[in-house]
Structure 1
Amino acid sequence: MQRCAIYTRKSTEDGLEQDFNSLQAQREACEAYIKSQRHEGWKPLTTDYDDGGFSGGTMDRPALTKLLAAVERHEVDIIVVYKVDRLTRSLADFSKIIERLDKQDVSFVSVTQAFNTTSSMGRLTLNVLLSFAQFEREVTAERIRDKIAASKKKGIWMGGNLPLGYDVEDRKLVINKEEAATVRLLFDLYVELGTVRLLKAEADRLGIVTKKIIRKDGSVTGGKPFLRGNLYRLLSNPLYIGLIPHKGETFPGMHKAIVDQEVWDQVQQMMSGNRRERSSPTNVKAPFLLTGLVFDEAGEPLYQAQASKNGKRYRYYISKQLAQNAEPEAGGWRLSARTLEATVIHPVRDLLHDQQRLMDFLQLANPAPSLLQRLKVEADELAGKLVDDDTGHQQAILQALIHRVGLSADTITIDLSRKALARLLTMEETVTNNEHNDIISLNHAITLQRKGIEAKLAIAGHSRVRQPDPDLCRLIAQARHWFDQLASGEAGSVKEIAEREMVFDTEITRVLPLAFLAPAIIEDILNGRQPETLNVKSLKRTSSLPSDWNEQQKRLGFHQ
């Protein structure tokens, strides 16, 4: 028996007082559809899940919440709605709902549309809709980024961590006189002492701490002793001379400067000189940050090794066979520890700076604004510790956060613990503890370069990672758009689409099969991981595209 739950919704309360209203009409249509599937064992549940007067743009609806709770309790096998938009009008929310249904093996049916996840065609339609959900999110993100960039070019402060020395009034930075005096003191002390290490020691002696921020919920963040990373960022922050930074450029700000230009220039010159000195190799032993975490493609752990040459010390992660046999024929991995550690830290730091991804990974659904602010503050502070000169901080964070680092010929896979991430961000109480879904995987593209007869392998810089091909992405979106028009009945035939788009019928029929590309292929293309030879021209010319996804990957040259 298939237990069917009927969900109905109406955006406004108008007409709900009538004897026969919109919710009842939806329910009757759904009941009739369930009755038509009686031979398949479908049976309607007696519980009503009706949301009258609730918008489909939010997940905060009592009947929907009640329905999803029933799904979690395994009381429902199929959810039936009159139309997809009765469940939600947000593609992003729709994908989250479907993900929850899939986990409980619950199907979804829309009685007035060709949408039924109990069939293969329904699941294909679902993949198309979810791809457009991703497209919607990316377009929204691009608009937000463009707006932020335009505002910063006008000198408007767009939020973020509030710097020491400033407060916010009417969304504008205004000088906090007491804190501004502390900022000037730190700049003067650096000029006097010459290094950030000595500056930190003096700041600790004087009791100087980071900016204390009281959140709306009454909790307090900051007010802690400066780390060296905090001091580096403070001394190099152009906000203090009245400028707004954005992607390597600065623009005149609408706020007043705290530090004189002469002092600023002197500090930047001193810091630049110190950086050149620090970049020279030394004989100081540095800890291995990824001890016991790095594994090769065969699942074998990499070992630590050190070597000295001309008074300089070098650190490596090497394969077991190289540790036991130094002959070139032994093969295996020999990676610079400094390069590998930097390559691992980079995507972890990017994750901490990307609030939307953090919310997805931590599975935070519809968090309160105060929680979002807290998440941003904690994530930025943790990211600061990752790039701090204190290797003890870096080692402690990476050892706690990383479950495993896997190496392959063109990718590093970094497996993080969701539970550990929540703990480091002090968010344990808000994150669901799911031991069966605790691992978060970050994939990072690399290029390996053989160095000499010893088969040492180096990781190429981040600049070598390819960018997505916008023309390829546009072509796939076009194919899915045309398929959606045919599936929904908006277009009656290929000829009708061709006339509307003012192209030949053959162009439509050549592009349409791309709507059935494997999800893994689409993901690789959206992330710029497609083969070098794959472009719009070659993809269009691919004849008889196989329906089997593995065969598609082989035909188009994707690694499986």
Structure 2
Amino acid sequence: MARRIRCAIYTRKSSDEGLDQDFNSLDAQNEACAAYVTSQKAEGWMLVPTRYDDGGVSGGTLDRPALQRLLADIEAGIVDQIVVYKIDRLTRSLSDFAKIVDRLDSTGASFVSVTQSFNTATSMGRLTLNMLLSFAQFEREVTAERIRDKIAASKKKGLWMGGTVPFGYQPDGRSLKIDETEAPIIRHIHDLYHDLGSVRTAAERAEELGYRTRPRSFATGASTGGTPFSRGHIYQILTNPLYAGRIRHRDKIYDGQHPAIIDPTAWDEMQERLATEAARTRGRSNAAERSTLVGKLFDETGDRLTPSHSRKNGKRLRYYISRRLVTDRREKHADAWRLPARDLENGIARILRDHLRKASVITDLVRDLKASELPELREKLLQIADDCDPNGSADVWAPLLRRADLAPGRILLRLDRKVMADRLNVPPDRIESPARRVPASFQMQRRGVEARIVLGAAMPQIDPVLAKNILTAQRWYAAIKAGSSFGDLAAQEKITSARIQQMIGLAFLAPSVLDQVTAGSQPLSFTSEWFKRTQLPSGWDEQKRIVKGL
């Protein structure tokens, strides 16, 4: 007697179009699969009564309710085999398919495609399957490219492509019309900045006037908005070309077909003023600079990092330090942190920007993502990423960060669920918790009393002290070859002979090590101070081995 094989039918449709019909695409897939299972009754196949239907969900993500229920039932031993109409109903991604197969293999389960006959137990069958999945993934990527191209072409014509309706406007077909209740608030916010010259002060004044963001409700019952305008909100209002009757697409701005709330000439002048103020702030003493990450930074002991500052040559230098350095000054606390605030803030902004620009993040971040939502949400996420500008205002990106945990060699950033939901215009319960965790590497290098922070992938940065000392050592070596003594050089340079003997070895670095120093890609710990203490051997191969191991 044939072994009993419990079969479950899985169906999927990318869009929700037509799902309200009495007999839709999911029903057609189910009917074909059920007939196939019946034809295999002699082989012991039997159909489980539960249906696993995902309507309006992309095949580019595994975050599908019915699929997750099915995989859970397989792991619980309720289902032995998945039956699908076509392989691309299960997934359109090679990497996701590998994950599904691993889960099936771990339980001894399998899958069958009704319209594509192949045996994955043979090498030819596996090749056929991989080819089918490759074409499915290619088709999905081409479709996404077409949608992106269509959005770009439409925005170039000045069309509003939907999404979150900006404060001050109401939707009007493929365009926008002015909301006469909210538009005066937008104009007044521009006037506030024009008069006060500060985004922070304008935000405080807007709150005093009782201005609130637009409340939004979702089908799930969740709601957002109705809160005071934050500094980030104010900055976005001031810099959004939509209010000047224009449409932004990535880094390009086109004339829009909707009416302007702010005069375009006045808006252009506002952008020049904002840019000038930002440049002036970066160029002058940062005495008035605030520590925007206060309350969000923690070290490996759970101690909160608190703002601190010192003065050097009349300049105010900001730091984040472990709180125990302030509350318990009697102890030295060798494990406590003291980090340059500007470097840390810029590094975190860079990590957030690079992370949010990854194509896969949106499918990991938003639960129950529909194919129809993907282009718009991906566009919004790219805009959020662009806002995480290390050289821009931290008031814009800092609200995205709920918490950052530092430990030797690593940092873990946690995104704020409510802020991400608000900026993507989705209910907070659709933001996945695991996807809000952003791990990155963390390195700290000291050059004398100066500390340099490198977060994430190390950015090439030339060490000016090391580069200068190499050139000096080469000059000393040329002088010695010409007949000068160490004593002569010491007298000329007004330093000791011992100092020259310590550093002249920099003239004999291996060419590959010199290339790294020139490009700024040498290990962080390879500094002049390290060389003075270590004294590299003269052999180039040995030098390269030691430097590589730093």
Change (3 A) 1:3 1:227: farther
Mapped contact 1:216–1:370 kept (Cα < 8 A): no
Partners of 2:71 and 2:347 in 1: how far apart?
Answer: 41
Q: Does 1:457 align with 2:461?
A: no
Q: Does 1:348 align with 2:352?
A: yes
Mapped contact 1:51–1:61 kept (Cα < 8 A): no
**What is the SS of the residue equivalent to 1:88?**
helix
Cα offset, 1:229, TM superposition = 1.8
**What is the SS of the residue equivalent to 1:115?**
coil
Cα offset, 1:252, TM superposition = 1.1
Match of 2:76 in 1: 73
Change (3 A) 1:51 1:457: closer
Mapped contact 1:49–1:67 kept (Cα < 8 A): no
Mapped contact 1:16–1:22 kept (Cα < 8 A): yes
What is the aligned residue count?
Answer: 427
Match of 1:264 in 2: 267
Q: Does 1:311 align with 2:304?
A: no
Q: Deviations over 1:446-484 (max 9, x none)?
A: 9x897745684354999969xxxxxxxxxxxxxxxxxxx
Partners of 1:423 and 1:199 in 2: how far apart?
Answer: 21
Q: Does 1:248 align with 2:251?
A: yes
Match of 1:203 in 2: 206
Cα offset, 1:227, TM superposition = 1.3
**What is the SS of the residue equivalent to 1:257?**
coil
User: Relative contact order: is structure 1 or structure 2 higher (C-alpha 8 Å, sep ≥ 6)?
Assistant: 2
Partners of 2:320 and 2:183 in 1: how far apart?
Answer: 46
Change (3 A) 1:249 1:464: farther
Change (3 A) 1:430 1:47: same
Match of 1:114 in 2: 119
Mapped contact 1:165–1:180 kept (Cα < 8 A): yes
Letter in 2 for 1:204: E
Match of 1:192 in 2: 195
Match of 1:360 in 2: 364
Identity, % of aligned pairs?
Answer: 29
Cα offset, 1:213, TM superposition = 4.3
Partners of 1:87 and 1:124 in 2: how far apart?
Answer: 16
Cα offset, 1:341, TM superposition = 2.6
Letter in 2 for 1:360: D
Cα offset, 1:170, TM superposition = 0.9
5+ unaligned residues in a row in structure 2: which ranges? 12-24, 323-333, 461-520, 522-548
Change (3 A) 1:401 1:27: farther
Cα offset, 1:186, TM superposition = 2.4
Mapped contact 1:49–1:66 kept (Cα < 8 A): no
Mapped contact 1:353–1:380 kept (Cα < 8 A): no
Partners of 1:15 and 1:163 in 2: how far apart?
Answer: 41
Change (3 A) 1:223 1:337: same
Match of 1:165 in 2: 168
Partners of 2:110 and 2:277 in 1: how far apart?
Answer: 62
Cα offset, 1:254, TM superposition = 0.8
Q: Does 1:286 align with 2:288?
A: no
5+ unaligned residues in a row in structure 1: which ranges? 35-43, 320-329, 466-530, 532-558
Cα offset, 1:65, TM superposition = 8.3
Letter in 2 for 1:85: K
Mapped contact 1:414–1:443 kept (Cα < 8 A): yes
TM-score using structure 2 length: 0.57
Change (3 A) 1:139 1:203: same
Out of 220, 229, 232, the residue aligned to residue 232 of structure 2 is 229
TM-score using structure 1 length: 0.56
Cα offset, 1:259, TM superposition = 1.8
**What is the SS of the residue equivalent to 2:291?**
coil
Mapped contact 1:200–1:226 kept (Cα < 8 A): yes
Larger radius of gyration: 2
**What is the SS of the residue equivalent to 2:203?**
helix
Change (3 A) 1:74 1:337: farther
Cα offset, 1:265, TM superposition = 3.9
Change (3 A) 1:338 1:294: farther
Match of 1:151 in 2: 154
Letter in 2 for 1:79: Q
Partners of 2:299 and 2:214 in 1: how far apart?
Answer: 37
Q: Does 1:6 align with 2:7?
A: yes
Partners of 1:425 and 1:379 in 2: how far apart?
Answer: 14
